[in-house]
Amino acid sequence: MIPYCIAQIGPPEIELQSINGVIKVKVSPPEAKMWINPLNFKYNLIIWENSSIDEFRSLSIFPTDIIDDLVPDTTYCLKVQATIPLDLKEGLFSPIRCVKTTHKVNDLVCATNVSIFALNMKFHLQWNNQYKQHVSYNVQYLMGYLKKLHDDYSVKWLSVPRCENITDTQCNFSSIITATSGFYYLRVQTMNEYNKSCLSDEVKVDPLITNEIGPPDVKLDISDVLLHIQISPPGGSESDFMRDHYELSYRILYWKNSSDKEEEIKMKEIKQTIGTVSDLTPSTLYCVKVQAFSELYNKSSHYSKEECIKTPGDKILPLIILATFVTALIAVCLVATALVFALYQAYNKIKYVFFPSCQPPLNIEHFGGQLFSSPYLPTTEELIENCSIIETIITEEVNQIDFKDYKHSKQSSRDSGNYSNDDDNNSGSKVSGEMVEKEIV
């Protein structure tokens, strides 16, 4: 025998309190030493109007809970059952208890339509104001696990930072979401100038379930034959949190943006943040939009903003143009090289003809009275008058020379045949002789 397996869960004890149009229920766990952890108990409540036993509703409640949405001045009966879901154990129902509801008396109209808007782990509480006079609001929250305890949690509500004594009808409570495994409860307290207050209905926040996924950011790039799609997870600064907790995947839609005809939209799903699309048509505009989704939480975002990019043109024409350009460049280089070589050779020939680097020997430079400035081109023969200057020193001895001796020496020089080779030398000698005679005379 295993006592835990064959033991029957007994009925819990309940306490009821009717206050301000609602019923407050407090449940005590079944008394037995074998039920080691009373927190393992879950409680099911069945409630109905005493006048109509056939119409009842079943609720899952905490050890201390409030039953609302009741008709005033009406008697309600209820019973509670304790269960242990992990062991598939169901206990006995408690004895039936009945209580009559009261009217809800409050001079101050409470905040209504309290709702939560959460996107990419940014949480906002919103509500409506039906009170025409000046009022202020305090937003309060309660950690969810406190409701599982059998203690009174009514004094454990805390105020949301920066949402105290506000006049606006919304509040950002992202700062209190410090864990994703638990849940929270929020409510709005309305206060007027006479310090009268009214509490709104509570709303439950389970962060990963309440939160919605926003669209991702998309960037496109084109390589040779591939379209690269770079995806930024939704959430901005919370993108790592979103990616890790939701295990995001991405649904890519892409198509050819053509005005001529309606193109087929193709779809591709990936788990990475980088995707590629192949088989692209050259010189074509492609458009892409991406949706993030989580299979684990059955959530999906809206599609991202449509992004478009044009693929490059066919590469055959650029290759032909490049080959033509290279061929023309080589031909120009060859022609330029040949032209430079020809000019260089012509320059050397001209320099050799008109400006020779070597001169003819001195013994042939004046041969035949002709100046050889160039070995190839003859120059016009010029008659050059060759003169000889005979210096005569007039001394006392010259005066004593006999004029006869002078004539004699002159005659002797004529007979010796020592004359100049040309007529200019003869004329020069005659002039010199006449000058000597004049000097002697």
pLDDT for the residue numbered 307 = 92
Q: What is the DSSP track for 209-263?
A: HH-BPPPPEEEEEE-SS-EEEEEEPTTGGGHHHHHHHHT-EEEEEEEE--SSSPP
Residue 73, domain CATH: 2.60.40.10
Residue linked to tokens 């004049």: 438
User: Do 154 and 170 reside in the same domain of the chain?
Assistant: yes
**pLDDT tens-digit map of 65-124:** 889 888 888 999 999 999 988 888 899 999 999 999 988 776 567 888 999 999 998 999
| Assigned token pair, 151 | 């203690």
The last residue of one of the domains, among 294, 314, 334, is: 314
Asked whether residue 411 is domain-assigned, the answer is no
User: Do 117 and 156 reside in the same domain of the chain?
Assistant: yes
User: Do 13 and 68 reside in the same domain of the chain?
Assistant: yes
Asked whether residue 438 is domain-assigned, the answer is no
CA dist 136 → 110, 163, 165 (Å): 11, 10, 5
Give the confidence band of 149 by pLDDT, cuts at 50, 70, 90: confident
Structural domain boundaries, residue 96: 3-101
**pLDDT tens-digit map of 36-58:** 677 788 999 999 998 877 788 89
3-state class (DSSP) for residue 128? strand
User: Do 192 and 228 reside in the same domain of the chain?
Assistant: no
**What rounded mean pLDDT belongs to the chain?**
79
User: Do 288 and 225 reside in the same domain of the chain?
Assistant: yes
Asked whether residue 394 is domain-assigned, the answer is no
For residue 408, pLDDT over 50 is answered with no
Q: For 203-222, what is the mean pLDDT? A: 92
Strand pairing category for 299-300 and 285-294: antiparallel
Asked whether residue 283 is domain-assigned, the answer is yes
Asked whether residue 415 is domain-assigned, the answer is no
User: Do 230 and 298 reside in the same domain of the chain?
Assistant: yes
pLDDT for the residue numbered 360 = 62
Asked whether residue 370 is domain-assigned, the answer is no
The last residue of one of the domains, among 184, 210, 236, is: 210
Report yes or no: 246 and 213 within 8 Å, Cβ to Cβ: yes
CA-CA distance, 173 to 83, in Å (whole number)?
34
User: Do 7 and 96 reside in the same domain of the chain?
Assistant: yes
Domain count, the chain: 3
The last residue of one of the domains, among 271, 293, 314, is: 314
pLDDT for the residue numbered 370 = 47
| pLDDT over 90 percentage in the chain | 35
pTM for the complete prediction? Answer: 0.63
User: Do 91 and 143 reside in the same domain of the chain?
Assistant: no
3-state class (DSSP) for residue 285? strand
Most confident of 260-264, 363-367, 428-432: 260-264
Asked whether residue 300 is domain-assigned, the answer is yes
Alpha-carbon dihedral of residues 424, 426, 427, 433, nearest 10 degrees?
A: 140
pLDDT for the residue numbered 392 = 47
Asked whether residue 427 is domain-assigned, the answer is no
Give the confidence band of 264 by pLDDT, cuts at 50, 70, 90: confident
User: Do 264 and 231 reside in the same domain of the chain?
Assistant: yes
User: Do 282 and 300 reside in the same domain of the chain?
Assistant: yes
CA-CA distance, 259 to 255, in Å (whole number)?
12
User: Do 187 and 251 reside in the same domain of the chain?
Assistant: no
User: Do 72 and 121 reside in the same domain of the chain?
Assistant: no
**pLDDT tens-digit map of 337-350:** 988 888 888 878 88
CA-CA distance, 233 to 219, in Å (whole number)?
12
CA-CA distance, 308 to 52, in Å (whole number)?
65
